[in-house]
């Protein structure tokens, strides 16, 4: 990465590698509520920028950057020798306050005197304006003013909200100058040889009258460290004899922690840094699904958050209908004035069925029947949305089309304008029924049918057994229609989508791999899909491409038409594991592990280019977010796949069919939460045979020795 970012809850800081926000920055700043509160942050020694020595990104919650001074002289006289000072900038965020300490050490053999100057400014720009995506009527700055412990810069928003940046320090500076380009704060520093001095700053965004509490620096950093220790302690512990995987898993675990936010309904993952540190229906739900075996409580926070913002009315401006789950929630000035529809915006076709899938999977993993009962009204609304608004063309398939003039045209996870394309090169016209969405709907209805058929809920007017039967019948009817319309015999694969004329969009893409997760694809056709996913056209050696090499629209450098998305691979992995295609699953995991070796701190980015591994190391995508929630959660999803873990909820039975990648001969999984307890499992490879031992099991579930589950559906293809 060519930037440094730290985040805690809803506040994040984005800077260059030196820790600065320059006047010509690329969106760098201190942000909360989609507003940039700090637009300039520049550190100078005797009026010149120091040189960068080290800038690490191995920890997301605390950043340490090491600099050294350049030479300064006046009239030929040296005022400060080059490399005389070591300058260490340490910053972290706690309880809506950014803390920064500048530690200065004199490595000259004599006393040195110099000036430390920090330049601050705030522009209060909306995130959409910063990124150049939207414009609109905005408010104005009210100027800067100094007080006894710092200064503040104010802003009166066009949305009627007053905003301020408050900056404070512990030690009185030599001078504070309010200029046309910000506020310059200067300290006169004298250091004896090997002497050290630290200067601390505190930066606080203020919205309305809410002023965050500033804690003592040492207390704040220790409390933050403790919260990360608690997160790790509460996580499923995973260790192997493959160091790359261990690094991969640990990095994903830490990245997910930094992306957690709580809007008052429980913690859930925002989409990613730096530009999507906000709730996203699809992204947050999929990330919660990926980490079910690691932190199932995150699924609960995600469910409750999405339920709170569930659509209530028909509003074309926001692509909203009753029961629909949101796509994206923004809270900046443009949202407040109605210049953009993201308040929230509902232009997503898959978040609603995925919401139901997440409820089902969470209840299966946790037996949290209270949550299921609480969600009954929301489940009803979501199912009604699927059947009424999701199928407005009466095709029997859930499809989308854009209504909001400032909304999104393609409303699946591949939401770029060119992503749904026929083999002729013509873009499909809406309404468009995506292949994976039908799988999500099938899985949602079948899973809910299973839950309502087994759980004892409080008496209500609804006959749950009848509803269970109806959902199962609806799912089966969808499966039959799906096989008739989407299967492409010539390709031995399923179409990407159906267009406005119900014609298949024949292009071979990764989307079909998502349907494996649902169980809607059976028998030889499921096997054909599994084989296609790891054929050279789709599989690059580093992962499954979004579009097959050889298709007319294939482009390895595109956003959605040939690139590789780790989360996309992860959902395919869920399906391969669910269907028992362990060989193919291992191939995909090995590819992603190989790719991870080349990225900083073994962190998988949002996406990377789809060039073949035979060409060389993976090629970065220029504007990929990192860390990104569903990319970070991908190695966490590996755990279920490595164990070959499948659940039969109705019988409380677990099947384990382990398969380990090359180089991994031992895997230990402990503290995995399931039902009312925990499970510890150890897997070993001996002469290419995988064996496992259940070391502890307080879950109330039975681990079977058989290698296949008795499924709740027939085995024929159609």
Q: Give the confidence band of 22 by pLDDT, cuts at 50, 70, 90.
A: confident
Across the range 458-471, mean pLDDT stands at: 71
Axis crossing angle, helix 351-366 with helix 296-308, rounded to the nearest 10: 140
Across the range 289-315, mean pLDDT stands at: 97
pLDDT value of position 675: 92
Does position 173 have pLDDT exceeding 90, yes or no? Answer: yes
Across the range 506-524, mean pLDDT stands at: 97
On average, the pLDDT of the chain sits at 93
The C-alpha atoms of residue 171 and residue 513 are separated, in whole angstroms, by 59
The C-alpha atoms of residue 39 and residue 122 are separated, in whole angstroms, by 5
Range with the poorest average pLDDT among 176-180, 195-199, 678-682? 176-180
Q: Comparing 653 with 274, which gets the higher pLDDT?
A: 653
pLDDT value of position 405: 84
Does position 112 have pLDDT exceeding 60, yes or no? Answer: yes
Give the CB-side neighbour count of residue 216, counting CA atoms within 13 A.
Answer: 3
Retrieve residue 381's tokens: 């609304």
Nearest to 285 by CA among 357, 369, 364, 379: 357
Tell me the H-state helices in 148-280. Answer: 217-233, 243-258
pLDDT value of position 462: 56
| pLDDT one-digit tens code per residue, 413-459 | 999 999 999 999 999 999 999 999 999 999 999 999 999 887 665 55
The C-alpha atoms of residue 635 and residue 589 are separated, in whole angstroms, by 9
85-94 and 62-68: which strand pairing? antiparallel
| pLDDT one-digit tens code per residue, 342-384 | 999 999 999 999 999 999 999 999 999 999 999 999 999 999 9
pLDDT value of position 712: 40
Retrieve residue 642's tokens: 């490595």
Q: Give the confidence band of 625 by pLDDT, cuts at 50, 70, 90.
A: confident
Sign of CA dihedral 594, 595, 596, 598: positive
Does position 67 have pLDDT exceeding 50, yes or no? Answer: yes
pLDDT value of position 75: 73
Give me the percent of the chain exceeding a pLDDT of 70: 96
| pLDDT one-digit tens code per residue, 217-250 | 999 999 999 999 999 999 999 999 999 999 999 9
Return all residues near 268 (Cβ < 8 A) that are at least 6 apart: 260, 261, 262, 279, 284, 288, 298, 301, 302, 305
Across the range 331-345, mean pLDDT stands at: 93
Does position 553 have pLDDT exceeding 90, yes or no? Answer: yes
| pLDDT one-digit tens code per residue, 254-291 | 999 999 999 999 999 999 888 888 999 999 999 999 99
pLDDT value of position 201: 96
Of 88-92, 132-136, 602-606, the range with the highest mean pLDDT is: 88-92
In this structure, are residues 94 and 8 in contact, taking their beta carbons and an 8 Å threshold? yes
Across the range 187-207, mean pLDDT stands at: 96
Retrieve residue 536's tokens: 């050279």
């Amino acid at each position: 990465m060519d930037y440094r970012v730290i985040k805690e809850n809803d506040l994040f800081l984005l800077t260059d590698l030196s820790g600065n926000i320059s006047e010509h920055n690329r969106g760098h700043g201190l942000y909360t509520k989609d507003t940039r509160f700090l637009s300039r942050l520049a550190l100078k020694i005797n009026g010149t920028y120091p040189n960068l020595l080290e800038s690490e990104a191995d920890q997301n919650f605390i950043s340490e950057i090491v600099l050294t001074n350049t030479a300064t002289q006046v009239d030929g006289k040296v005022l400060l020798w080059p490399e005389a000072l070591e300058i260490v900038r340490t910053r972290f965020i706690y309880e809506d306050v950014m803390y920064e300490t500048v530690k200065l050490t004199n490595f000259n053999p004599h006393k040195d005197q110099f000036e430390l100057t920090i330049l601050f400014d705030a522009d209060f720009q909306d995130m959409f304006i910063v990124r150049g995506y939207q414009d609109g009527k905005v408010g104005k700055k009210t100027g800067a003013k100094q007080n006894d412990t710092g200064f503040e810069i104010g802003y009166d928003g066009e949305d009627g909200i007053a905003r301020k940046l408050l900056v404070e320090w512990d030690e009185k500076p030599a001078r504070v100058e309010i200029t046309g380009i910000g506020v310059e704060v200067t300290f006169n520093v004298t250091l004896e040889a090997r002497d050290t001095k630290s200067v601390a700053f505190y930066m606080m965004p203020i919205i309305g009258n809410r002023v965050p509490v500033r804690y003592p620096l040492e207390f704040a950093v220790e409390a933050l460290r403790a919260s990360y220790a608690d997160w790790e302690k509460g996580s499923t512990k995973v260790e192997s004899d493959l160091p790359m995987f261990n690094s991969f898993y640990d990095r994903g675990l830490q990245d997910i922690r930094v992306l957690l936010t709580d809007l008052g309904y429980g913690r859930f993952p925002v989409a990613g840094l730096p530009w999507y540190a906000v709730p996203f229906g699809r992204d947050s739900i999929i990330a919660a699904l990926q980490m079910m075996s690691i932190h199932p409580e995150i699924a609960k926070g995600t469910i409750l958050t999405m339920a709170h913002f569930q659509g209530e009315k028909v509003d074309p401006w926001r692509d909203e209908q009753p029961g629909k789950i949101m796509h994206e929630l923004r809270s900046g000035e443009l949202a407040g004035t109605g210049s953009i529809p993201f308040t929230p915006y509902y232009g997503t076709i898959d978040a609603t069925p995925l919401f139901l899938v997440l409820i089902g999977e969470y209840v299966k993993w946790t037996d949290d029947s209270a949550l299921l009962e609480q969600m009954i009204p929301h489940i009803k609304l979501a199912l009604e949305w699927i059947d009424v608004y999701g199928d407005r063309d009466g095709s029997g398939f859930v499809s989308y089309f854009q209504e909001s003039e400032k909304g999104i045209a393609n409303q699946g996870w591949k939401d770029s304008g060119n992503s749904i394309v026929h083999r002729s090169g013509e873009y499909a016209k809406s309404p468009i029924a995506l292949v994976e969405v039908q799988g999500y709907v099938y899985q949602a209805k079948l899973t809910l049918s299973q839950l309502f058929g087994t759980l004892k809920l409080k008496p209500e007017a609804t006959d749950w057994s009848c509803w269970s039967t109806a959902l199962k019948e609806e799912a089966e009817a969808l499966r039959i229609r799906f096989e008739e319309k989407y299967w492409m015999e010539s390709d031995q694969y399923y179409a990407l989508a159906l267009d406005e004329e119900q014609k298949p969009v024949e292009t071979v893409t990764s989307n079909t791999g998502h349907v494996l997760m649902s169980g809607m694809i059976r028998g030889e056709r499921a096997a054909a899909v599994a084989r296609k996913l790891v054929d050279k056209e789709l599989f690059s050696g580093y992962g499954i491409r979004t579009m097959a090499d050889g298709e007319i629209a294939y482009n390895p450098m595109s956003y959605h038409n040939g690139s590789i998305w780790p989360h996309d691979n992860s959902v395919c992995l869920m399906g391969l594991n669910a269907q028992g295609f362990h060989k193919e699953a291992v191939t995909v995991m090995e590819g992603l592990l190989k790719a991870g070796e080349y990225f900083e701190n073994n962190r998988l980015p949002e996406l990377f280019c789809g060039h073949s591994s035979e060409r060389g190391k993976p090629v970065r995508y220029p504007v990929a977010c990192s860390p990104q929630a569903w990319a970070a959660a991908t190695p966490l999803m590996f755990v279920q796949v490595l164990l070959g873990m499948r659940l039969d909820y109705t019988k409380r039975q677990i099947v384990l069919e382990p398969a380990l990648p090359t180089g991994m001969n031992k895997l230990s999984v402990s503290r995995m939460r399931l039902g009312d307890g925990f499970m510890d499992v150890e897997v070993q490879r001996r002469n290419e045979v995988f064996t496992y031992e259940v070391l502890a099991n307080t879950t109330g579930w039975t681990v079977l020795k058989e290698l296949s589950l008795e499924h709740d559906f027939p085995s024929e293809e159609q």
